[in-house]
Amino acid sequence: MIEFKNVCFFYGEKQILKDFNLKINDGERVCFYGESGRGKTTALRLIMGLEKPLSGTVTVNGGISAVFQEDRLLPFKTVNENIEFVSNTENREKILSALNLSAERDLYPSALSGGMARRVSIARALSKNSDIYIFDEPFTGLDSGNINDAVRIINEITNGKTVVCVLHEKSNAEKLGCRIIDL
């Protein structure tokens, strides 16, 4: 369960969230949607504990796995090693195959295209068995075929888990079965 109670958040003088209230039940899927600067990523960062509200509370029950806006791959580790860094999952090969990355398992991030690096970030997040999965613009740089493949494996791995994401296409939120929260 994730709950925002009367959350206010500022960046400097700019108010991002004001008296924000939201409850996300276990196993629910939600997508924060809206224009840039409305607090979508900030809400995700509050859930992950990377930011603290000026006032109000954010309660999170459960472990979290995340895909950030940036890929955040460790440049000195291969694709396999980047995944093993968070989890030595038995699903790794299945996830890599589903994301069309099996042939890239021994490559370093510098040898990957932007879309490949993005898919490795998704694979790494999915390889960790978590209660809550956070996806901040996970499909940036992916073509429609790779988006569809990513949606399929995300839905399979996160079935019954809480999913909170930021997406710019409502159709992708619908494919993930998300309730849309306009910010």
Residue 172: the pLDDT is 94
For residues 173 and 32, the answer to whether their CB atoms sit within 8 Å is no
Token reading at 84: 């093993």
Residue range 2-182 forms a domain whose CATH class is alpha beta
The 10s digit of each residue's pLDDT in 125-180 is 999 999 999 999 999 999 999 999 999 999 999 999 999 999 988 999 999 999 99
All residues at 6 or more sequence positions from 104 whose CB lies less than 8 Å from its CB, including other chains: 79, 96, 111, 112, 116, 120
Residue 33: the pLDDT is 92
Instruction: Please write down the HEC assignment for all residues of 75-88.
Output: CCCCHHHHHHHHCC
Token reading at 40: 């979508």
Name which residue leads in pLDDT, 114 or 37: 114
Residue 183: the pLDDT is 86
For residues 33 and 17, the answer to whether their CB atoms sit within 8 Å is no
For residues 68 and 135, the answer to whether their CB atoms sit within 8 Å is no
Q: Are strands 29-33 and 14-24 parallel, antiparallel or unpaired?
A: unpaired
Residue 88: the pLDDT is 65
Nearest to 178 by CA among 27, 6, 3: 27
The 10s digit of each residue's pLDDT in 54-97 is 999 999 999 999 999 999 999 999 999 999 888 867 788 899 99
Cα–Cα separations (whole angstroms), residue 126 to 8, 51, 93, 135, 155 = 31, 23, 12, 10, 10
Residue 167: the pLDDT is 92
Residue 77: the pLDDT is 95
Residue 35: the pLDDT is 87
Domain locations along the chain: 2-182
